[in-house]
Structure 1
Amino acid sequence: MDRLQYLLQRYTNKTATPAELKELSALMDKNFEDSINKDPGLSAQQEERMKMRYQHIIASPRKEPVKTVRMRSWPWMAAAAAVTLIIVSLVVLMRDDAGIDRPLQGLAVTRVVHSGQHQAELVELPDGTKVILNKNSELRYDSATFGVSTREVTLTGEAYFDVTHDAGKRFVVKTGEVSTQVLGTAFNVSAYPGQSAITVTVERGSVQVGDLQRTFGIIERNEQIVVNVSNDEVVRLQADAQSVVAWKNNYFILDNTTFAEAAALIEQRFNVKVIIENESLKNCRVVASFLNGESLKQIVDALSKIQNATATINGDRVMIEGGLGCTATDN
Structure 2
Amino acid sequence: MSLEQNDIDQLVTMYREDFTPDVDRGLRQLHGRLKPSAGRIRRLPRRRLLAVAAVALLVIAAAVVLLTRDQQTYLINDSDALAEYQLPDGTSLTLQGGSQVRYDPNTYNLDARRLSLDGQAYFEVVPDQGRPFIVSNGTAALHVTGTAFNLRSRNEEMEVEVSEGSVILQKGTEKLSVAAMECAMAKPGAPMIHQPAPNLNHHAWRTGVLKFNHTPLEEVLSYLSDNWGIKCEWKDGKVCSYTVSGSYRGGDAGSVLMDIAELGGVKVRSTGTDGKHFLLEGSCSQ
Question: TM-score scaled to structure 1, two decimals?
Answer: 0.46
For the residue of structure 2 that corresponds to 1:64, the secondary structure is helix
User: Partners of 2:81 and 2:62 in 1: how far apart?
Assistant: 19
Amino acid at match of 2:78: G
For the residue of structure 1 that corresponds to 2:98, the secondary structure is coil
Structure number with greater Rg is 1
For the residue of structure 1 that corresponds to 2:81, the secondary structure is coil
What does 1:77-96 align with in structure 2 at a 5 Å threshold? none
What does 1:124-273 align with in structure 2 at a 5 Å threshold? 124-193=86-155, 197-211=157-171, 213-229=172-188, 231-240=189-198, 242-250=200-208
Amino acid at match of 1:245: H
1:59 aligns with one of 20, 25, 36: 20
What does 1:38-53 align with in structure 2 at a 5 Å threshold? none
For the residue of structure 1 that corresponds to 2:111, the secondary structure is coil
> In the TM superposition, what is the alpha-carbon distance from 1:154 to its structure 2 partner?
0.8
User: Partners of 1:119 and 1:205 in 2: how far apart?
Assistant: 27
> In the TM superposition, what is the alpha-carbon distance from 1:228 to its structure 2 partner?
2.3
RMSD: 3.8
**2:93 and 2:124 in contact (8 A); partners too:** yes
> Where is the helix percentage greater, Structure 1 or Structure 2?
1
User: Partners of 2:166 and 2:154 in 1: how far apart?
Assistant: 23
Amino acid at match of 2:207: N
**1:141 and 1:153 in contact (8 A); partners too:** yes
User: Partners of 1:156 and 1:79 in 2: how far apart?
Assistant: 15
Q: Does 1:115 align with 2:74?
A: no
Amino acid at match of 1:247: W
User: Partners of 2:103 and 2:80 in 1: how far apart?
Assistant: 23
For the residue of structure 1 that corresponds to 2:56, the secondary structure is coil
User: Partners of 1:133 and 1:248 in 2: how far apart?
Assistant: 9
For the residue of structure 1 that corresponds to 2:110, the secondary structure is coil
User: Partners of 1:238 and 1:75 in 2: how far apart?
Assistant: 34
Higher RCO structure (Cα 8 Å, ≥6 apart) = 2
Q: Does 1:73 align with 2:31?
A: no
**1:172 and 1:180 in contact (8 A); partners too:** yes
> In the TM superposition, what is the alpha-carbon distance from 1:77 to its structure 2 partner?
5.3
**1:221 and 1:241 in contact (8 A); partners too:** no
For the residue of structure 2 that corresponds to 1:169, the secondary structure is coil
**1:129 and 1:161 in contact (8 A); partners too:** yes
Amino acid at match of 1:111: T
> In the TM superposition, what is the alpha-carbon distance from 1:60 to its structure 2 partner?
5.0
CA deviations on 1:45-103 (whole Å, 9 max, x unpaired) are xxxxxxxx8643x4355642385979862599569957xx68xx6xxxxxxxxxxxxxx
Structure 2's unaligned 5+ residue stretches are 1-8, 40-54, 210-250, 252-286
Q: 1:144 to 1:236 in 2, by over 3 A?
A: same
**2:12 and 2:64 in contact (8 A); partners too:** no
For the residue of structure 2 that corresponds to 1:73, the secondary structure is helix
CA deviations on 1:248-287 (whole Å, 9 max, x unpaired) are 1259xxxxxxxxxxxxxxxxxxxxxxxxxxxxxxxxxxxx
User: Partners of 1:139 and 1:74 in 2: how far apart?
Assistant: 19
Q: 1:13 to 1:161 in 2, by over 3 A?
A: closer
For the residue of structure 1 that corresponds to 2:115, the secondary structure is strand
Question: TM-score scaled to structure 2, two decimals?
Answer: 0.53
**1:154 and 1:173 in contact (8 A); partners too:** yes
User: Partners of 2:76 and 2:162 in 1: how far apart?
Assistant: 23
Tell me the number of residue pairs that the alignment of Structure 1 and Structure 2 aligns: 181
Q: Runs of 4+ in structure 1 displaced over 6 angstroms?
A: 68-71
CA deviations on 1:182-211 (whole Å, 9 max, x unpaired) are 110111111234x8x421111111101113
Q: 1:75 to 1:198 in 2, by over 3 A?
A: closer
Q: 1:223 to 1:74 in 2, by over 3 A?
A: closer
